[in-house]
Amino acid sequence: MKHADLAAKASRIKLVLTDCDGVLTDGGVYYGESGEVLKRFNIRDGMGVERLRAVGVETGIVTGERSPSVQKRADKLKITELHLGIKDKAPLLGDILSRTGLAAEQVAFIGDDTNDVAILGLVGLAACPGDATVFARDAADYHCQAKGGHGAFRELAELIISCKGGTPLPDRGSE
């Protein structure tokens, strides 16, 4: 996608939705006798949530998992648009648009796998981490250099912030 087209899409964003595992985490989960014990989140991604909010862009998490650690992370970041246990994410977008009054082109989604492909095709700006599956990469407008759990969300956040401020995108070659 050309820089000008990407910048135009990013400048319209008012809500960034993200998958959790594989985007906000590296996809690894630690299990113990009682089930899920730990997920690793990147603090810089959390700063991306705060920086987006400062320019009037809200953030939401849409995940197929029902993980207490995701709830805790959302609480810490004051993310109220939290949707746990959502296996089919595309229909949820319509509900969010109806409730918020936003148009699809004002929403970005970052996802990493096959369960994200449908919603990636419906939003104004579709993104994926650098280590996303080929399915997500094929559906995404923007491919982050950073991997999931290692700053991919923050990279997308900075892209949107930059475009909202009119700062030109750095030339990263063809994506």
C-alpha closest to that of 47 among 129, 151, 165: 151
Mean pLDDT, to the nearest integer, of 88-104?
Answer: 97
State yes or no: pLDDT of 168 exceeds 60: no
Give pLDDT tens digits for 46-63.
999 999 999 999 999 999
State yes or no: pLDDT of 14 exceeds 60: yes
The rounded distance, in Å, linking the Cα atoms of 165 and 44 is 20
- Name the percent of the chain lying above pLDDT 90: 81
Are 118 and 17 in contact by the 8 Å Cβ rule? The answer is: no
pLDDT bin (cut points 50, 70, 90) of residue 165 is confident
Mean pLDDT, to the nearest integer, of 68-90?
Answer: 95
pLDDT score, position 33 = 84
Average pLDDT, the chain: 92
Single pTM value for the model: 0.92
Domains of the chain, each with CATH number or no CATH? 3-164 (3.40.50.1000)
Alpha helix segments (H runs only) across the chain: 3-11, 43-54, 68-76, 89-100, 117-120, 134-139, 152-164
pLDDT score, position 37 = 74
**DSSP string for 70-87:** HHHHHHHTT--EEE-S-S
Q: Strand pairing of 15-18 and 58-62? A: parallel
Sign of CA dihedral 154, 155, 156, 162: positive
Mean pLDDT, to the nearest integer, of 114-143?
Answer: 98
pLDDT score, position 173 = 46
In degrees rounded to 5, what are phi and psi of residue 58? -90, 165
pLDDT score, position 174 = 42
CA distances from 138 to 116, 130, 135 (A): 11, 12, 5
Q: Which of 19-23, 64-68, 148-152, 163-167 has the lowest mean pLDDT?
A: 163-167
Give pLDDT tens digits for 70-80.
999 999 999 99
